[in-house]
Structure 1
């Protein structure tokens, strides 16, 4: 969880410009879903200026704050000024970051440079992040459920954010083929501690079907993660992020 400045907390709890941008002219993605920290920046460019900027953040609260701050910084800038934005400016816009969290600002900056390079027909290679040691596997206990044939996992040691992110994505992807066959779909929007926000479309967005879909998905996620999870539907322009804090 963020514990630095009031500005950073505000950008996390009230993200600016979070969510997909369907009319994007330039898209840049930096980081790694496997590592548990990634950001995608989407820009709509008009007359050589950034007319609109939105972001999706997958990772900790600092990634959300940096993505939010970056979209505010670049909106209205011409392309040259947008290219000149630095990681330090992004860090300053969130009120400063402790040294271990500064890569969040660097990833946001890389996403910006990748998006602008793609729009201009250039190639930008983001700096390689420092390798992160793989977390040790968490011990688990299996509890026999009352009504299900599969045991529920209870973890004695919480999973690392990267591992939780991978499991959440896998569970959601595993249910999508069946939902699509019935004329619906579900996509991951945000993970905020014990809350998993999703976006339902098609047949899944109806009230009764939504309740069935969310209930089943909530159980699958709770069983996979070994902790209580609440699945919440998002309707319009959902916030897209994953905050690793509990």
Structure 2
């Protein structure tokens, strides 16, 4: 998070209007669990005046995405539907003090979800956007919760996904040599190794790296190095890695950041 501005960090660590909205009469979604960023935007709109009285969101995503979704709710509350419809991705980024081009996926998803919610309120159909390529994601590490979210059921686990980056901490754990541990894991270890190789560029992009140390009894031991070793956002990225492993293997696995043996 060191490369983000003060407003982005504030919205990420203190997201506004996060959670379900019981009285929502306009709901729009964008992104996907597979893609790494997913947003459900819920609006309560006065049918007579078409003014947005309340807005809340449920989301999975990285720092700029969560901040963008938070800022979006503040921008639309109190506005007419017509005014909200004119909101652009640039307006969302500007509310955060600006975002670099490579961090504009959050505002783009926010704009898509807003359009979908307004269309739902008016009874119009919205074409679904093309699915995004997999990237860093922070979904909770349980198959059951991911399935409930995909089905559109409200409710958040005790460890709210927005707080995943703060809570994924682990002390170094001594481990047997990686070769022996992975050999014992067999095909499971090979599948996990392939997933980690696919996601390695995500860690390297932020100045760090990840190494698979071993797989034992439903636990995946990894070693973080470089900037990732002390980065707050590493928790989000590891959660995304964990979710991909769970989805691929079809069973619960736990990622444990560990010290090298």
Task: Give TM-score scaled by structure 2 length.
Answer: 0.58
For residues 176-226 of structure 1, the C-alpha deviation after alignment (integer angstroms, 9 at most, x for no partner) is xxxxxxxxxxxxxxxxxxxxxxxxxxxxxxxxxxxxxxxxxxxx7xx6213
**Residue 75 to residue 161, structure 1, CA distance change in 2 (3 Å):** same
Structure 2 matches for 1:110-189, cutoff 5 A?
Answer: 110-125=112-127, 127-128=129-130, 131=133, 136-138=194-196, 140-142=212-214, 150=217, 152-156=219-223, 162-166=240-244
Residue 13 of structure 1, CA deviation: 1.3
Secondary structure of the residue that 2:120 maps to in structure 1?
A: helix
- Give the match for residue 45 of structure 1: 45
Structure 2 distance, partners of 1:151, 1:98, is 39
Aligned pair 1:224/2:257, yes or no? no
Unaligned runs of 5+ in 2: 137-192, 197-210, 225-233
Structure 2 distance, partners of 1:101, 1:76, is 27
CA RMSD of aligned residues (A): 3.2
- Give the match for residue 106 of structure 2: 104
Secondary structure of the residue that 2:34 maps to in structure 1?
A: coil
**Residue 129 to residue 106, structure 1, CA distance change in 2 (3 Å):** farther
Structure 1 distance, partners of 2:246, 2:72, is 27
More helix, by proportion? 2
- 8 Å contact kept, 1:40–1:57: yes
**Residue 97 to residue 129, structure 1, CA distance change in 2 (3 Å):** farther
Residue 77 of structure 1, CA deviation: 0.8
Task: Give TM-score scaled by structure 1 length.
Answer: 0.61
**Residue 153 to residue 75, structure 1, CA distance change in 2 (3 Å):** same
Number of residue pairs matched by the alignment: 175
